Amino acid sequence: MRLLDAILDANQRVAGGQAQSLAPAEFADALPLVVLTCIDARLNHLIPESLGVPESHFIWLRNAGNIITGPMSSTLRSLAMACAVKGGKEILILGHSDCLVRKTGTLELLDKFDALGIPRAKLPENLQEFFGLFASERQNVLKAVEHVRASPLIGPRVPVHGALLDLATGKIEVLINGYQVFATTTAGMSPVTERVTETARWPASGPPASEALGNLSLADIQVSNQPIGELSALLKLAAAAMPAVPETKPAAAAPSAPGKPPPVPVDPVAALKRVVDLTRHYRIIGGDGKQYGPVPATVLLRWINDGRVDAETSVKVDGTNAWVKLHELGEAISRLRGPRK
């Protein structure tokens, strides 16, 4: 019996009124267990007893709503340290029913901050993105598991499970069995191939996987001071998880005047790539009029390379309010940096 199966068995016994605790010696290769839950006080008397895992082999991490906002987020840092420093062998993302974070909408959140003396102007522009507000406890767990499995900070052979705890009954429902996912994605794969594949395994209602980076070469990317590990994570996520943008056709080049030599050809794709700052994120208005992003610069470069955006596409550097045409992006970033000294 593997650890997750033993936890389910112990949970059913605990929910039935029988005290149950796993024997650590029988699961030495899977303990300690790292668990991320919500900060809800109603969990205090349920965990870790409801899992049957002794406290000495239980690493409990908590945040509001058991939310993970990205594969390089601060919560992922804590999960990684729990594995690297504290020796965690398996990870469980455990959501719960009747979550108050799910019930809190953006307007209500603004009112609560205002009651604390924090005006809207001092809060991030995108509240839902920053605080990770969600509409479904189930979907929130699935998304969190995907972020963990896509993170370069978590060892590729660490099983990552997802489950929901019913506060009324104390019973646990497994949403993602990390052993099954591991067996499916690692059969015949190298660790590197396994990690790239993992980023494409979104839940059914999540973003569709898009095609790879295409023929964008490293020579087309201007090197920045961004840490190489962070850049690697962005490249993998960009290739596997970003939605496609409706194609827009670049304007045809004007014909040369009769009797005059043709102008020296200019590669419009290369020219547009030169205005992209690799250290920033961007939002764009697609050909369908919808807003996309924020996306890392690597994704914007790919869209330029594939012809999905052109010089007249409206672009905004994330964190600013000014929309500009793509060909004006370099000037806009220069203004953002301020005058040179």
Do 169 and 307 fall into the same domain? no
Question: Average pLDDT for residues 12-26, to the nearest whole number?
Answer: 79
pLDDT band at 85 (very low <50, low <70, confident <90, very high): very high
Provide the residue range defining the domain that includes 270.
218-251+261-337
Give a yes or no: residue 45 inside a domain. Answer: yes
Do 29 and 173 fall into the same domain? yes
Tell whether the model's pLDDT for residue 4 goes beyond 50.
yes
Give a yes or no: residue 208 inside a domain. Answer: no
**Residue in 209, 204, 238, 237 with CA at minimum distance from that of residue 136:** 204
Beta bridge partners of 325: 314
> Hey, CA dihedral for 305, 309, 313, 319, is it positive or negative?
negative
Determine the Cα–Cα distance for residues 120 and 111; give it in Å rounded to an integer: 9
Q: What is the pLDDT of residue 172?
A: 92
Asked whether 97 and 167 are in contact (CB, 8 A), the reply is yes
Using a 10 angstrom Cβ sphere, with 0-12 exposed, 13-18 middle and 19 or more buried, the burial of residue 147 is buried
Tell whether the model's pLDDT for residue 76 goes beyond 90.
yes
Do 44 and 159 fall into the same domain? yes
Do 145 and 15 fall into the same domain? yes
Do 161 and 222 fall into the same domain? no
Do 165 and 224 fall into the same domain? no
Give a yes or no: residue 164 inside a domain. Answer: yes
Do 13 and 149 fall into the same domain? yes
Q: What is the pLDDT of residue 93?
A: 96
Do 229 and 151 fall into the same domain? no
Do 162 and 235 fall into the same domain? no
Do 188 and 326 fall into the same domain? no
Look at 310 and 184; give whichever has higher pLDDT: 310
Residue 123 to residues 109, 117, 120, 130, 131: CA-CA distances in angstroms? Answer: 11, 12, 5, 9, 10
Do 185 and 287 fall into the same domain? no
Percent of the chain with pLDDT over 70: 70
Q: What is the pLDDT of residues 100-135, one digit of tens each?
A: 887 777 788 888 888 999 888 888 777 776 776 677
Give a yes or no: residue 94 inside a domain. Answer: yes
Number of domains in the chain: 2
Tell whether the model's pLDDT for residue 268 goes beyond 50.
yes
DSSP conformational letter for 208: P
Do 109 and 238 fall into the same domain? no
Look at 16 and 188; give whichever has higher pLDDT: 16
Give a yes or no: residue 223 inside a domain. Answer: yes
Q: What is the pLDDT of residues 21-74, one digit of tens each?
A: 788 888 989 999 999 999 999 999 888 888 989 888 999 999 988 989 889 999
- Mean pLDDT, the chain, rounded, equals 75
Tell whether the model's pLDDT for residue 184 goes beyond 80.
no
pTM: 0.53
Give a yes or no: residue 167 inside a domain. Answer: yes
